[in-house]
Structure 1
Amino acid sequence: MTIIADQPQHSPVRTAAPPPTDGVAVVMPAFREEANVAATVQDFLSTLVREGIPHAVIVVDDGSDDRTGAIIDRLAEAHPARVIAVHHERNQGYGAAVRTGLETALRRTGFREILLTDADCQFHADDLVRLREFKKEERADAVIGYRRRRADPWRRRLNAKVWTLLCKTLLQVPGRDVDCAYKLIDRSLLQDLRLSGEAAAISPELLCRISGDGARIVEHPVEHYPREHGEQTGANLSVVARSLISLAVVYGHMVRDARRLGWVRRLASPRDPGAALVALAACIAAVAAYLYFADHGYLLAYKDANSHLLIARRVVDSPTAGLAQLGGVWLPLPHLLSAPLAVWEGLYLNGFAGAFVSMVSYVVAVKFLFTHARSLSGHWAGGLTAAGLFALNPNVLYLQATAMTELLLFACAIVALHYLHEWCTEGRLRDLSLASGAVLAATLTRYEGWILCLVAGAIVAFVSLRRHRRYSHTEGSVVVFGFVAGAGIIGWLAWNLAIFGDPLNWKSGEYGDSSLWVSAGEANVGSLPTAAESYGLASLHNLGIATAAMGVAGLILYAVQKRLRSKTLVPYAMLVFAPFFVWALYTGERPLHVKEVMGALYNVRFGLIMLIPAAVFAGFLIGTLAKRLPGRRLAAGTLAAAAVAGATVAVDGAVTLDEAVEYRASGWEVDNAAVSEWLRDHHDGGTTLMMSFENESVTFESQVPTGSLVYEGSYLIWETSLADPHAAGVEWIYMRATPGSEDDVWEALWGTEVLDDHYELVYDRGDRLVYRAEDGGAE
């Protein structure tokens, strides 16, 4: 049977087929295959006859300018009804040939299965028998072949790997070998299927479309044989270009049709346009702030930012790389999130590896603040006010551009509060589960998250008891919440026990004891009024007087209207951090200095967490007022904008940045900067021995490769190197000799024979010393 088909491009595969019967229709596109097509067709005919499988072979000559068309016509005459020859009068490309072949198989045959393959003798019919058996065993709707060993030149194999990766990334197609021309598919998956892909893009499009709607698709290896005759056209530049362009078009169609890429469509048409616009504005603000602070050289002003980046980098690159490099003092989540980007040295050194986590957290926090305050106040102006007060606060904008961990904590806390409030009001288990997950993330970010976990757990217990008035229901809710939310705390205690032999190492270990940070005679310690004054002033400097005033007014209004009902408790939760920090200052657990009390700034960012309740209650205040204004939308928008603008202007700069800049200007850091610069200019490789604690600025800014840096977290290597650095192959030694604050390297090596005999002092500026091995270090 011979058919002339000159179908238009992008035509659908139509079905006006007879009832399905057992058998296989084999579809073969062919272009300039005069030397291969007869042997390929005969192979399938003989194999299918031998196996007793009803069949038809459809060969589509795609406008070949050789004898391909004449050969398939003769085959059709010799095997009527078993071979169907289809001709394109002009070459339309592989995609069009596949569409024509599939349409012909569906219209002209009634077989339940359709095999899509090539006519170049690189695949044999024996694999079809195995694929049918495997398909039956697996009860699959389709079997995708993958080449066990691809018999192609290395360039073509490389191109195929790149193409497969691109297709899987864009279209999320199943299978490890996207363009393998051996696919056995149920006709039910192909009926009324609309395909538009050109050249190589037809295969990933086909896989993407048939894999939807719960279809079961499995893989099976097939043999691939070298091409003996003719030329492959798939690697031609024009074909590659058509394939890439067509893949982009297919991607657009998948988005339009919401097939596997529904998230893209939802992004373009979000369910909550207001929240989406707020998130987009936050993205723009995050990038703009990052570029601003980067241009002024402030991204790494905090010493702790250096430390966080160092931990993330050591996880992936150090003499003892691995999760043990997370240590046991700082909680692990920020470093785990930064580690993948810290693999790239450039992103590690410029701080973006850590800043990216903060920037994403900033966007999440702003979006959920908008959603939470809008829900709380019942008006979008309330949400816009809360989001604006937080998003435009100079201290938030600065910290979100750094590798500090505050923004990640804020995002986790705000998400937790939002979903916990939704659970309190609606009682959905899903909201409780999401809240517990957010609290879990908070407990693995900063220790303030542990307080949040306790407060949230108490709210869950109280609300459950009031709602059900039965102990069993209350217990169930607390267990559901606590099992997830408390897992981080239990896990961290277990981690400290396993690594350091003490579950409380994070608090009382060598590098965690509060005495390392709180000086003797600290004004806050033992004086509750002073501690309260210090924290109050720190909060006020971070929030600004206008934001604080609106927050207090909103809190009063909320308390009057909502009181302490079980459904309205959550917004009060973040207020607990004020007494918590006052207690921490009073007991000497944490230091915080403000100029009005101590004459300097230190840890003043602890007060920034109070911006969350202040923004929420201010949003409630403005949202409540907006509902009573005439003119509705314009008046409400004006009110919210005026509140945000006035409060932002009232913030007296970024006190968090002032603290970091002042610290960097101290004599201690000036000395660190000088030795760091010297090491950048003179360090030329080799193992370096340097204690990290209190030397973080030098460790990071010297840019000594972390992969060759032995420090106190280098398991076993540290002790060996301190005992005999020359025997351990150490070439460089850095030590801090500050009286009363000497580091462990100085304590172990100063005045020893190994230092005098094998090392030369190459840098000496006061109490910063650098030695280099005279013989380059022992091998």
Structure 2
Amino acid sequence: MADLERAPRGTRTTTDGVAVIMPVHAQAESLESTVEGFLATMAQAGHDHRIVVVDDGSPDGTGQVLDELAARYPDRIVAVRHDDRQGHEAAIRTGIKAALERTSMGRLLLLGADGRLKPTDLPVLLRVQREERADAVIGFREWAGPLFRRAGGRVRPVAGRLLLGTHGRDALWDYRLLDCRLLDEREAGGASVPAEPASRSRAGDGELRIIEHPLDGPAGSARPGGASLRTIARSLPALAPAYGNLVRGGGRWRWARRLLRPEDPVLALLMAACAVLSLVAFLHHFGQGAVLLYNDSSSHLLIARRVIDSPTAGLAQLGGVWPPLPHVLALPFIWHDAVFYSGLAGSLISMVSYLVTVRYLYLIAAGMAGDGARTVSSARGRAAGVAAAGLFALNPNVLYLQSTPMTELLLFACTAAAVHHLQIWCRTGRYTQLTFASAATLLATLTRYEGWVLALAMTAVVGYVSWRRRRGRSQAEAQLIFFGVVAFSGVLGWVTWSRVIFGDWLYWHSGEYAKPSLWVSPADRNIGALDRSWLTYSQAMVHDLGHLTLAAAALGLLAYAWRRRLRIEAVAPYTLLVFMPFFVYALYAGQRPLHLPETHGDFYNVRFGLVMALAAAVFAGYLVSLVAGHLVSPRRPVRERWIQSTLAAAVVATVLAVPGTATLAEPLDWDAGWDERAVTAAVKWLRGHYDGGRVLMENYDNETVVFDSRIPLGRIVYEGAFRLWDRALKDPAGSGIRWIYLRTIPGEEDRTWRALHGGPALTRDYTLVYQDGTQQIYRRKETP
């Protein structure tokens, strides 16, 4: 037949009956019995029905038999013929069109060329569809027969999963009971037509219910052609139309669609620019040799590497001082020597975190500005978002830290994500957003201890919002539990880890390598002086952010608090302020040191003030939104481009006002010290003279030697090697130690020096091969 006329979509009036689509080719002998078997079964079951038989250019007498059946059952059989063979896919398509145009049946049963469906299976599928209230029922049997045919029967399911994203046994099964509304005859394309409902449900049509149902027993005398290579070869290309529809509908390649047509072009452009900026910043600092200037940078890399490369490799090498998430994330990259020793294994995490933080700061600030009039809210939101993201992204201290393996940027990303999703939950009450907020908080608690304070602040906001909504005490408790169980599971897990591995619940705080006395001098002037602690932290923020940024943030905070107060939809951004009192208390209580040139004569931990860049960015962004909203109001018709240019210039000027890169100045000063220069000389000597064997060396305070000497970590016995370390300190020669490194700085001697200095083990078994005012290196004597 020629192309059938297309029925206008949505104009059919349907009944509860079923139309059986039966493509046939060269089946003159079996056609009559097959058709009458379906007719008898349907009549006996009492279902209104039609059978649409499509003769696909049969060379035998199939067409004549079909004509006789149509004449015998004119109200129950629809006969359609192809003048020449067009294939099973075309026959299916023709049958669907004929059923939609020439019958009023509301359901279609699609049969395959192999006849594997028995007439008695149809009432079963109809019953299942009715009981399950399904839009489509897919009947299946396991493929039987020779191995090659069973294997062929699984080719199409795999193709359906890969291309259409279906999870059923076969996206191309030849018998499906479908509701007519699932099919668009204008788009049907052969064997891909049965896959259309599944692909559309994957594209987001959430109201579809498609189920599978097993069919019992063999298929009788059916010809197993459905798994033949010819049938498979013909059906696989027919997936293309369905795949194309799925792509156009957003079910596949969504990332490509969003890339080409982003929902927020401003945010997309901003992210692209920041990605370039992040890479340029890394390459710049890498070229300057600054990526690993912080001793902590190499320490983070060493912790991750020792999980897979250590005398006692395993997860226990994560230790108990720093939370584990940054080191776990580095594991996929840490095994490659070039990526490890360049620092890129850790910098990649910081760079990705930088981009994530930029995105979420944009969204937080845009959400804070979304309370204006409908005519200007979009412009205000974009202005706030761009300003907040720009103040953070262009900050030189941020750009340096995002180029290093330090953990601050990962904390920033988790914090910004948590606050953004909490912000949406405060506005909408959606549990999905509360789940995202709790998960991001969990990640923050596993990144740095500041995340524990964030978890407390987030919990307070959840409790406050739940109470203000006045939905009952039980629901408020449920929301607090729902959030808290996830958010604090990281804290509980880390404390439990300390107990299991080190035998002390508080090892993370007061353990041998974690106690504050290792870093904080008893004479620190911040201890016990609250006013000085406030002043010290405030000065650190000035070094990290600059006066202009802080002034804009302060004005934005005042305006936000005045206009929004403590409304439940507005309280989430306040959680970003919690870090300032936390660090002030840490200085006051002697838990953490922070040195500045104004108070101590040098920089130390100045990066602690950088966490306030998150709050400063969003509240300064809110201030910018107020200015933008005022300028574009109907009373002041100013061009939006001029506004954007002016605000962009103001953001750049504010960033340029940051007084240098304090986070880089700190490690540069440290690296220029005499001790570090001496360590560099020892490292150079070791790299030129190390010729294999185990090395006994304490890792604490010797990270530069461990990392820069390039000695394989599996050959270094250090304090994290547990019992092996203790045995080596008592009898290094008996433990197979060939090299011993000792730090000898008066008052800062390492444990190796304290255990072996002056003892017989060194003088009897080892020779001093290198010495300066900072360290000694011994090599085991050669046996005669």
Question: TM-score, normalised on structure 1?
Answer: 0.73
The percentage of aligned residue pairs carrying the same residue is: 38
Residue type of the alignment partner of 2:494: W
Distance 1:216 1:401 in 2: 49
Alpha-carbon offset, residue 482 of structure 1: 3.8
Name the SS for the 1:330 alignment partner: coil
Is the 1:24–1:111 contact (alpha carbons within 8 Å) kept by the matching residues of 2? no
Distance 1:373 1:715, change over 3 A: same
1:214 — aligned with what? 208
Larger Rg: 2
| 1:47-100 CA distance string (max 9 Å, x none) | 978996899796786xxxxxx953684896699579989648586x88656544
Aligned residue runs from structure 1 range 336-355, under 5 A: 336-340=328-332, 351-355=343-347
1:172 — aligned with what? 165
1:739 aligns with 2:731: no
Is the 1:664–1:670 contact (alpha carbons within 8 Å) kept by the matching residues of 2? no
Distance 1:108 1:430, change over 3 A: closer
Aligned residue runs from structure 1 range 332-481, under 5 A: 332-340=324-332, 351-377=343-369, 378=372, 379-380=380-381, 381-420=383-422, 434-461=436-463, 478-479=480-481, 481=483
Alpha-carbon offset, residue 505 of structure 1: 1.3
1:304 aligns with 2:296: yes
1:34 — aligned with what? none
**Structure 2 counterpart of 1:70, from 59, 62, 76:** 59
Name the SS for the 1:602 alignment partner: coil
Distance 1:78 1:677, change over 3 A: farther
Distance 1:520 1:607 in 2: 22
**Structure 2 counterpart of 1:254, from 242, 246, 270:** 246
Alpha-carbon offset, residue 574 of structure 1: 3.5
Residue type of the alignment partner of 1:623: S
1:142 aligns with 2:147: no
Is the 2:442–2:488 contact (alpha carbons within 8 Å) kept by the matching residues of 1? yes
Aligned residue runs from structure 1 range 231-310, under 5 A: 232=229, 247=240, 250-259=242-251, 274-294=266-286, 296-310=288-302
Is the 1:552–1:617 contact (alpha carbons within 8 Å) kept by the matching residues of 2? yes
Distance 1:425 1:96, change over 3 A: closer
Once superposed, what is the RMSD of the aligned Cα atoms?
5.8
| 1:736-759 CA distance string (max 9 Å, x none) | 3112666667777899999999x9
Alpha-carbon offset, residue 498 of structure 1: 3.3
Distance 1:302 1:616 in 2: 29
Distance 1:98 1:74, change over 3 A: closer
1:543 — aligned with what? 545
My pick for the range that moved more, 668-677 or 601-610, is 668-677
Distance 1:553 1:407, change over 3 A: same
Name the SS for the 2:512 alignment partner: coil
Distance 1:43 1:339 in 2: 67
Alpha-carbon offset, residue 164 of structure 1: 6.8
Distance 1:760 1:427, change over 3 A: same
1:613 — aligned with what? 615
Name the SS for the 1:503 alignment partner: coil
Distance 2:343 2:603 in 1: 23
| 1:518-564 CA distance string (max 9 Å, x none) | 35655544555654454333222211232223233444555666667
| 1:133-184 CA distance string (max 9 Å, x none) | 8994994633375867996679x979988x97786466422136556x5554
Aligned residue runs from structure 1 range 429-578, under 5 A: 434-461=436-463, 478-479=480-481, 481-519=483-521, 521-522=523-524, 524-525=526-527, 531-558=533-560, 571-578=573-580
Name the SS for the 1:114 alignment partner: strand
Distance 1:234 1:756 in 2: 83
Is the 2:80–2:95 contact (alpha carbons within 8 Å) kept by the matching residues of 1? no
Name the SS for the 1:643 alignment partner: helix
1:114 — aligned with what? 109
Unaligned runs of 5+ in 2: 44-49, 71-76, 373-379
1:33 — aligned with what? none
| 1:457-495 CA distance string (max 9 Å, x none) | 445555666775997787666555544433433333233
Distance 1:444 1:232 in 2: 53
1:587 aligns with 2:596: no
Name the SS for the 2:138 alignment partner: strand
Is the 1:5–1:89 contact (alpha carbons within 8 Å) kept by the matching residues of 2? no
Distance 1:463 1:129, change over 3 A: closer
Aligned residue runs from structure 1 range 559-708, under 5 A: 571-629=573-631, 630-632=636-638, 633-663=640-670, 666-667=676-677, 670-671=680-681, 674=684, 692-697=699-704
Distance 1:170 1:762, change over 3 A: farther
Distance 2:11 2:113 in 1: 23
Unaligned runs of 5+ in 1: 31-36, 62-67
Aligned residue runs from structure 1 range 51-130, under 5 A: 69-70=58-59, 73=62, 87=82, 89=84, 96=90, 99-100=93-94, 103=97, 114=109, 117=112
Distance 1:384 1:607, change over 3 A: same
Distance 1:376 1:105, change over 3 A: closer
Aligned length: 739
Alpha-carbon offset, residue 608 of structure 1: 0.5
Name the SS for the 2:109 alignment partner: strand
My pick for the range that moved more, 748-757 or 170-179, is 748-757
| 1:577-598 CA distance string (max 9 Å, x none) | 3343233234332223334444
Distance 1:715 1:451 in 2: 32
Residue type of the alignment partner of 2:359: K
Alpha-carbon offset, residue 393 of structure 1: 0.8
2:47 — aligned with what? none
Alpha-carbon offset, residue 329 of structure 1: 2.3
Residue type of the alignment partner of 1:659: E
Name the SS for the 1:628 alignment partner: helix
Residue type of the alignment partner of 1:328: G
Alpha-carbon offset, residue 192 of structure 1: 2.8
1:65 — aligned with what? none
Is the 2:18–2:106 contact (alpha carbons within 8 Å) kept by the matching residues of 1? yes
Distance 1:763 1:217, change over 3 A: farther
Residue type of the alignment partner of 1:658: A
Is the 1:514–1:590 contact (alpha carbons within 8 Å) kept by the matching residues of 2? yes
| 1:352-383 CA distance string (max 9 Å, x none) | 55444433433332233233334445533333
Residue type of the alignment partner of 1:257: G
Is the 1:548–1:614 contact (alpha carbons within 8 Å) kept by the matching residues of 2? yes
Distance 2:780 2:594 in 1: 40
